[in-house]
A and B are shown apart, each in its own frame.
Chain A
């Protein structure tokens, strides 16, 4: 077993879903001991190619070679037992059973004697693994539902890594993890690489890739656009080159906003006064017309709850949320007063996935569209078509279902809902989560348009760079309180804020 030995090869892999072509003949070669970055926009096929290698689905055509033999895994468990494991983007734990049962799902035989699974033995083994990865605060005997999304991701990680592991695929997992969770993951990745194992890190975060990977493959539209070595990745202008490879054109114009003028109106549109609920105590904030207020922090710092409270979704014990002087008690009030809310849980809260683009866009506007009790098809069409055009939503027409759209286009629909309604105070929670660079830039431009039109914007995000790039005023939260405040300036750096976060 030596370094640089080729462990896995995929040759001319094609994958078609009905009429959609996800991979148009992609080749990839993985070597022992490397941390390979896989980067590309949504729908570029970066997840697809590795999910084929990990046995989740099979290719339409093409060939794979693993450890010198033809590789055709029958299932993810089969691939896992033979050494290729993948941590998926979505939650992939089994609800309703214990942590230990999740970790050893499909491997119960190892703990079985006389046809009975020795639960205690399984729990002990699972706990030993959890302790080994320094996440011993998770108890193997607990029901998995007791843990949040982040912990469940870490549990998945433990499940993936067994003594046979040769290749670990991590699919956009870090966006779901907090600072600590990420560190656990990164440490593990480097440990594996040092032990001459292979890690594939799928991401669209260029900084993350540059920091941790030893080589990089860029995909676009189901094709490999380029491979970069460690030396390439250390060049000064490399981030722009990667972006160019990803989207196939130069990024023109500014990525974030370019001005450092944080003057806004004196008129307070949305105001939190002594807001107290859950673990939030006496929270105060004013958002003015034409102002972008950013809130940053680690997930679990309370910033998402603030967004919900601003939209009337939380029951306050004390204090009040005011919109133009009127109390916001429910989201129905909020909508009436012109507040729009983009939930961070795009697929479960912000959108009706099993509904058309039009159904989603017109939903908050239905009361405005009715004449008497009648809502005409034409009025719905006109409203949604206007927004589809404004946001350049890539679709055949408004009748296309939202679950067929890519992440970026889905997010455009959740924005379009509120521009269609004419909301002029917009609370956006993680507005660019799971959205690729091209669309991100477009969204930032839209947010700037909103600001220029005098709208008040509350932008909650886990990405500090985006908050620094967009906010007039930036708040950092820690332990359900505001721990730091920053004015817009060109000198602001994420490093200035980390201390206020952890």
Chain B
């Protein structure tokens, strides 16, 4: 009996790996073959660099978001946060000539938002997504005010060498460092272990000694910090920000995590690698679909179709229930 159960357990782990890497491997093979039929290649340096710049922001955001998703929560204000931080960085650079103050201010705001997001949900007994929806509106409002005062819809860095943010090695290096740090905190410290336990069963975690509010705040702060890092690269790639910067990124994060096999209910099966694999799969679709002759007008439809298929094949739980 014991051995039979072992077999079942291992197969469920293997299944999660297949979910995680299967989609990515399929996309890589698929696009390698089919882009070449169209006389293109995703592997030429130019396309590869597009791919990296496309993947980097989503991946930096998703890696941090793993913490909040592991709680079983969703943060819908991510995109607007990216917009605000990018804007602040540019505005303050124009005034002071340095990016530092904008980045620091962004960190402070991110931590403030994280604390409010985590605490209000818990203390007022409302779904954690609600405060983040409120932030989405507030930040949209802020951005509208800023840009109407500036009298333009986009702003650029003033007299600044931003080539460092376009260097693929810097991008990849930052992603690797962030992923390793987040993975360490997630898998090897109390913060990560309690985060997963709270996502799996908050009552049990609390009776086991976890301070729910404290660790929820920590989880949101990890996500906030990663959001600022992502904003820096988002802004740095074009050296500019606009009133539409970051729009819809929260959905990109959600899609990336689901494609990477992250359970939306959070808990013990959450993994940092889901974020990386999912973000890469998502970007491959973004970059690859136009290359195999899918008209740009149709890419959203095709993505929706692929997303649906992936979810139906991979995310079904025992008893045929979709991820909750």
Binding site for B on A (CB under 8 A): 18-20, 311, 313, 331-332, 335, 341, 343, 348-356, 359, 363-364, 366-367, 370, 373-376, 394-397, 399-401, 404, 417
Cβ-defined contact, A359 with B206, below 8 A: no
* Closest B residue, CB atoms, query A312: B207
Q: Which of A18, A366, A404 touches B193 (beta carbons < 8 Å)?
A: A366
Given the known A-B contacts A359-B268, A374-B189, are A396 and B6 also in contact in the complex, defined by CB atoms under 8 Å?
A: yes
B161-210 CB contacts (< 8 Å) to partner A: 188-190, 193-194, 196-197, 200-201, 203-210
Which residues on the A side are within 8 Å of B201 (C-beta)? Answer: 348, 351-355
Given the known A-B contacts A20-B5, A375-B193, A396-B5, are A352 and B207 also in contact in the complex, defined by CB atoms under 8 Å?
A: no
B131 interfacial contact with A, CB 8 Å: no
Which residues on the A side are within 8 Å of B7 (C-beta)? Answer: 19
Which residues on the B side are within 8 Å of A395 (C-beta)? Answer: 2, 5
10 new A-B contacts, CB < 8 A, other than A350-B204, A375-B188, are A19-B8, A311-B207, A332-B209, A348-B203, A349-B203, A353-B200, A355-B267, A359-B197, A363-B205, A404-B9
B211 interfacial contact with A, CB 8 Å: yes
Q: Which of A353, A366, A400 touches B190 (beta carbons < 8 Å)?
A: A366
Cβ-defined contact, A19 with B4, below 8 A: yes
Cβ-defined contact, A370 with B189, below 8 A: yes
Which residues on the A side are within 8 Å of B3 (C-beta)? Answer: 396
Given the known A-B contacts A19-B7, A354-B201, are A364 and B2 also in contact in the complex, defined by CB atoms under 8 Å?
A: no
Q: Which of A335, A354, A356, A394 has the most CB of B within 10 A?
A: A354
Q: Nearest chain B CB to A422's CB is how many angstroms away?
A: 13
Cβ-defined contact, A396 with B9, below 8 A: yes
Cβ-defined contact, B188 with A374, below 8 A: yes
Binding site for A on B (CB under 8 A): 1-9, 188-190, 193-194, 196-197, 200-201, 203-211, 267-269
Which residues on the B side are within 8 Å of A18 (C-beta)? Answer: 8
Which residues on the B side are within 8 Å of A332 (C-beta)? Answer: 209, 211
**A19 to B210, alpha carbons, bound, how many Å?**
36
**A364 to B210, alpha carbons, bound, how many Å?**
8
Cβ-defined contact, B5 with A370, below 8 A: no
Cβ-defined contact, B207 with A375, below 8 A: no
Cβ-defined contact, A363 with B197, below 8 A: yes
Q: Nearest chain A CB to B96's CB is how many angstroms away?
A: 35
Cβ-defined contact, A367 with B190, below 8 A: yes
Q: Which of A356, A364, A375, A400 touches B189 (beta carbons < 8 Å)?
A: A375
**A313 to B205, alpha carbons, bound, how many Å?**
13
**A441 to B140, alpha carbons, bound, how many Å?**
63
**A376 to B208, alpha carbons, bound, how many Å?**
19
Identify 12 residue pairs between A and B in the complex whose beta-carbon atoms are under 8 Å apart, listed by A's number. A332-B209, A348-B203, A349-B203, A351-B201, A355-B197, A355-B200, A356-B268, A359-B197, A359-B200, A363-B204, A363-B208, A375-B188
**A374 to B188, alpha carbons, bound, how many Å?**
6
Q: Which of A313, A353, A354, A374 touches B207 (beta carbons < 8 Å)?
A: A313
Cβ-defined contact, A350 with B207, below 8 A: yes
Which residues on the B side are within 8 Å of A401 (C-beta)? Answer: 9
**A341 to B201, alpha carbons, bound, how many Å?**
16
Q: Which of A331, A367, A374, A396 touches B206 (beta carbons < 8 Å)?
A: A331
Which residues on the A side are within 8 Å of B2 (C-beta)? Answer: 394-396
Given the known A-B contacts A20-B4, A366-B194, A404-B9, are A351 and B204 also in contact in the complex, defined by CB atoms under 8 Å?
A: yes
Cβ-defined contact, A364 with B190, below 8 A: no
Q: Which of A331, A350, A355, A374 has the most CB of B within 10 A?
A: A355
Cβ-defined contact, A400 with B6, below 8 A: yes
Which residues on the A side are within 8 Å of B8 (C-beta)? Answer: 18-20, 404
Q: Nearest chain B CB to A28's CB is how many angstroms away?
A: 23
* Closest B residue, CB atoms, query A343: B207
**A130 to B5, alpha carbons, bound, how many Å?**
44
Which residues on the A side are within 8 Å of B203 (C-beta)? Answer: 348-349
Which residues on the A side are within 8 Å of B208 (C-beta)? Answer: 335, 363-364, 417
Q: Which of B7, B194, B268 has the most CB of A within 10 A?
A: B268
**A350 to B210, alpha carbons, bound, how many Å?**
13
Q: Which of B203, B204, B209 has the most CB of A within 10 A?
A: B204
Q: Nearest chain B CB to A25's CB is how many angstroms away?
A: 18
Q: Nearest chain B CB to A376's CB is how many angstroms away?
A: 8
Cβ-defined contact, A370 with B190, below 8 A: yes
* Closest B residue, CB atoms, query A349: B203
Cβ-defined contact, B5 with A349, below 8 A: no
Q: Nearest chain A CB to B323's CB is how many angstroms away?
A: 13
